Amino acid sequence: MDRRQFVLSGLALLAPRTSFAASATIEIFPNEPIGTISPDIYGHFTEHLGGCIYDGVWVGENSKIPNIGGIRKELIDNLKRIKAPVIRWPGGCFADSYNWRDGVGPRDRRPKRTNFWANTPYLEKAPNGPQKYEPNEFGTNEFAHFCKLAGAQPYFAANLRSLKALDFYEWIEYCNSPAGTTTLADLRGQGGARDPFPVRFWGVGNESWGCGGNFTGGEYAVEFRRFAEWVPRYNVDLAFIASGPNSADYAWTHDFFHKLVEKGENTLERVYGCALHYYCGTTGKGNAVDFTVDDWYELLAKANRMEELVRNHWQIMGEVDKERRVKLVVDEWGAWHKTDPSIDPSYLFAYFPTLRDALVSGITLDIFNRNADKIAMANAAQLINNIHTSFLAVGEKFTVTPIFHVFDMYAAHQGGTSVRTIVSAPRLGQSSADGLWGLGGSCSLHGKRAVLTIVNPDTSNAQETQIAASGTRISNVRATVLTSNDIHAHNTFEQPNALKPSQQAVAASGSPLVYSFAPASVTRLEFDLA
């Protein structure tokens, strides 16, 4: 008898006869912890790309749009709601040509520069403006202020490709040196921030395998050692994040770690995390709202590949880092579609995320939860008006997207203990699904309260499921469900609530609990364990 047969037979003995039709099982093991789910797994990413910063985050202090010190107020309010823990800035590829000194001091004296993305064919059609020619109105002080308002920690991505190690050193000094102690602290004060921010998270370069320098893993390891050596700390527990691999470039990870320790394994102590980037893009039309059922399954199967990437890179890291001092940081992830033609071309890569993108989010966040022992941080790309966005804003118009709702639902996992959970359901039969499971999810414990999140990718069929918690009973169940009869459902400025979660009463209790997961859904079940 295999494991699944054993679980099914045990559940059958306990279940009421009306539950025999259940096609799936979920078994939770409260006494088998995986690790604490870092709140930072639910982080975000902002880049000077399209309308993300200008008209997204930054509207200016004199704008008619409600703002706090130039930051869009509605964005701040919603970030507080989802308990956004950390936000990465200023890129992305923009960071690889960004000089932090351009974005400090009086705004009217800051230089204008050509944006890294200005030559993108789609953006070339747009009129001149801040998306093409960077005014540097939004710089270090403004970003730090934004994070403080939102209740998030700032995560700075430093320019390793075109600046020197000394510039990195001095940016840390600018951000973290105490008031009145250094010339750069005085310069920070002139921008309105007398006290240090302080900044803990520092990315030492970005995508150094590509736009960040086109290095090999070994070449980048030498650069990392040089940048991270002897930087000022000012009583801040600095966390340096190394530029890691692109998707399944396992050779990069291998070469970086082996080269990094050539001068001794103590070098690993300077690495808080190794960054992994993975986007699950669309093929064919590539339109976010115009897709077939096969397109739906193909994208969700691509999203599910994140688990393979996390586990394989983790295994390679362990060849050198046997004590597991370095964690993974997935600081760019999401579904990447073409720019929606109905949106101003200045808003490069902006589109209206649908229910499909919500399921991509649920699949990915569940993977992070299940690998809580491996992942220290993740940052969805990007926060507003861009790839895999949680928010859309044009002028005074503003809406949350289905992706926001998933982050809101999954925020309940933050700080909980991820526990081993076996989800058994028939795999999807469509060839485009590439063997994708019929149900997937994760479970976390918060004292005697459990949070279980489940994705049902099947567009047509509900999954009646028996849910059991080993050695205990389930009671006081509450359900929150995000779904729609239309898999293309999405929010717009005219219909901001076209797709939102619903609360559902669950009368049953005990062990096992029988629950039917709706087709094409993301579900959060919260319940007590006896």
Write out the catalytic residue numbers: 207, 332
Specify the amino acid at residue 446: H
Q: Looking at beta carbons, which pairs linking 411-414 to residues 24 or more positions away fall under 8 Å?
A: 411/42, 411/82, 411/83, 412/444, 412/446, 412/451, 412/524, 412/526, 413/37, 413/42, 413/365, 413/369, 413/442, 413/444, 413/451, 413/453, 414/37, 414/39, 414/41, 414/42, 414/83, 414/85
Comparing CA positions, the residue from 286, 303, 300 lying closest to residue 459 is 300
Query: How open is the CA angle 521-522-527, to the nearest 5 degrees?
Result: 125
For 393, phi and psi rounded to 5 degrees? -150, 130
Comparing CA positions, the residue from 377, 280, 272, 277 lying closest to residue 42 is 377
Burial 276-307 (b: 16+ CB within 10 A, else e): bbbbbebeeeebbbebeeebbbbbbbbbbbbb
Q: Please give the biggest Cα pair distance in the chain.
A: 76
| CA distance linking residue 365 with residue 499, whole number of Å | 20
Cβ 207 vs Cβ 169: under 8 Å? no
| CA distance linking residue 105 with residue 108, whole number of Å | 9
DSSP bridge partners of 28:
421, 469
443 in helix, strand or coil? Answer: strand
For 287, phi and psi rounded to 5 degrees? -85, 135
Alpha-carbon 377 to chain mean position: 8
Q: What is the CA radius of gyration of the chain?
A: 23
Cβ 278 vs Cβ 207: under 8 Å? no
